[in-house]
Amino acid sequence: MKNAALENCRKKFDMTAADMAAMVREFQSEMERGLEGRDSSLKMIPTFVDCATGKEEGSYIALDLGGTNFRVLGVRLDGRGGISVEHVGKYVIPTAVMRGTGEQLFNFIAGSIKEFMTKNRISASDDRKLGFTFSFPVKQTAVAKGVLITWTKDFSASGVVGNDVVGLLSAALAGYGLEKIEIAALLNDTVGTLVAKSYEDPGCDVGVIFGTGTNACYRERIDRIRKLPGLDGKGHMIVNIEWGNFSKAPANEYDRMLDQVSGNPGQQLMEKKISGMYLGELTRLLISDLIADKSLFAGEKVNFSRGQFESQHMSLIEADDSADLSAVKLFLGGIGIPDATLEDRAVLKEACRIVSDRAAKISAAALSAVFTWMDPKLDGKHTAAIDGSVYEKHPGFRERVLAALKELHGEKAGKLALVSAKDGSGVGAAVVAAVAASA
């Protein structure tokens, strides 16, 4: 009975090589539409900056603003692919400032930058370039210009939505006597991840986040970005795909259930299949069905309610390779199921594996679409710089993505490298500032 129920679940989440290849075609069709400015689930946002050459050098300031906590970093580039973080300052934005006026918010940030410079003996009389990671929805119109579309993450500072955040920060810096600081670049963490790694490895042309959320960017030929007709068409530019919103990845009844009760129905549909924010809930829905038809925890009064099962629990369960699944037993005991049989524990582990397997295959298909969009026959070598908790911490996730890429491309998958890249939102901001300054 249990094996039959699991097999039924496996079929619902199964993704064959043909399914992945079909997704690649759909993904590239959406990429093309997005680049042309037509209706698409992929925004394909131009960033107005290219990858690093590895020859950029000098000292830069990076501002990483993505939530209540933000960081200021002093970063030095040696011109030979080497990056050193010389200073780090961490600051907490008071709730009253987050919800006050834009002037209060940017004055607080500018004051923190001044404090950082004073503490680390960085002269305010010298010209400085600053890279600004701003992890909120913006419409970017130049490398150092972007209008806030809407606040998220409990921010509601007035007078910012609809305005250029670089201009607001520049005015605040001038008010603190820091007019010598030039904000050279505005970026998100995905772009920072790519550019920071490209400084060390010129073969890196894709940046990806597989974490609480997911996104990717890549290096595009400017003549293919047809929604920017004013450019001369020469050279390359990084494009922010915003791939979490891709709407044509295969979906089943559990995906639809999760989407309906989410805070943004119909949006971020691929993200809801592969990111840390949603994988646990997707698995919980599957587990709840197994419990309901008595294929799991039969005879026990068990109710897995929404929010009780998280992605980190999946990681813990899938990582348990002990003969008696003792870590799974301990976890279940902690949530009020002390008498689960070994078979129950094995079914629970397999349910987690079914969901994370598909997540890896969807991730591989999206990566394949980007790699083969740049290089249809994979004649050259390509590197994706990847950051995020799912990629770094979920057992076997990286290996399963690589296996799916091999399933799609055979021996040519050996030309595709996936490398860990840390702190694109911090160090990457400084490298992007250096690239923009030398353009």
Mapping DSSP to helix (H, G, I), strand (E, B) and coil, where does residue 76 land?
Answer: strand
Which of the two residues, 305 and 222, has the higher pLDDT score? 222
Whole-angstrom Cα distance, residue 283 to residue 59? 46
Q: Report residue 238 as tokens.
A: 């990084």
301 is catalytic: no
- Does the pLDDT at position 64 exceed 60? yes
Which of the two residues, 337 and 377, has the higher pLDDT score? 377
Least Cα distance to 438 among 177, 175, 49 occurs for 49
Domain ranges of the chain: 1-45+202-421, 57-197
User: Is the distance from CB of 360 to CB of 400 less than 8 angstroms?
Assistant: yes
Integer CA distances (angstroms), 178 to 105, 112, 115, 118, in order: 16, 12, 11, 11
| pLDDT, mean of residues 236-259 | 95
- Does the pLDDT at position 210 exceed 90? yes
- Does the pLDDT at position 328 exceed 90? yes
387 is catalytic: no
- Does the pLDDT at position 1 exceed 60? no
How high is the pLDDT of residue 12?
A: 95
Least Cα distance to 433 among 93, 75, 158, 124 occurs for 75
Whole-angstrom Cα distance, residue 97 to residue 155? 9
Of 90, 153, 227, 381, catalytic: 153
How high is the pLDDT of residue 208?
A: 96
How high is the pLDDT of residue 230?
A: 72
| pLDDT, mean of residues 363-392 | 96
Residue 66 confidence class, pLDDT cut points 50, 70, 90: confident
| pLDDT, mean of residues 139-164 | 90
- Does the pLDDT at position 24 exceed 80? yes
Residue 295 confidence class, pLDDT cut points 50, 70, 90: confident
Q: b/e per residue, 277-307, with b = 16+ CB within 10 A?
A: bbbbbbbbbbbbbbbeeebbbeebebebeee
Integer CA distances (angstroms), 192 to 61, 198, 396, in order: 14, 10, 25
Residue 396 confidence class, pLDDT cut points 50, 70, 90: very high
| pLDDT, mean of residues 359-375 | 98
Percentage of the chain beyond pLDDT 70 is 98
Of 189, 255, 259, 387, catalytic: 189
Most confident region among 197-206, 230-239, 357-366, 427-436 by mean pLDDT: 357-366
- Does the pLDDT at position 209 exceed 60? yes
How high is the pLDDT of residue 2?
A: 63
- Does the pLDDT at position 286 exceed 60? yes
| CATH number corresponding to 1-45+202-421 | 3.40.367.20
Least Cα distance to 374 among 27, 47, 39, 49 occurs for 27
Query: What is the value of pTM for the model shown?
Result: 0.92
How high is the pLDDT of residue 232?
A: 67
* Assigned CATH topology for domain 57-197: Nucleotidyltransferase; domain 5 (3.30.420)
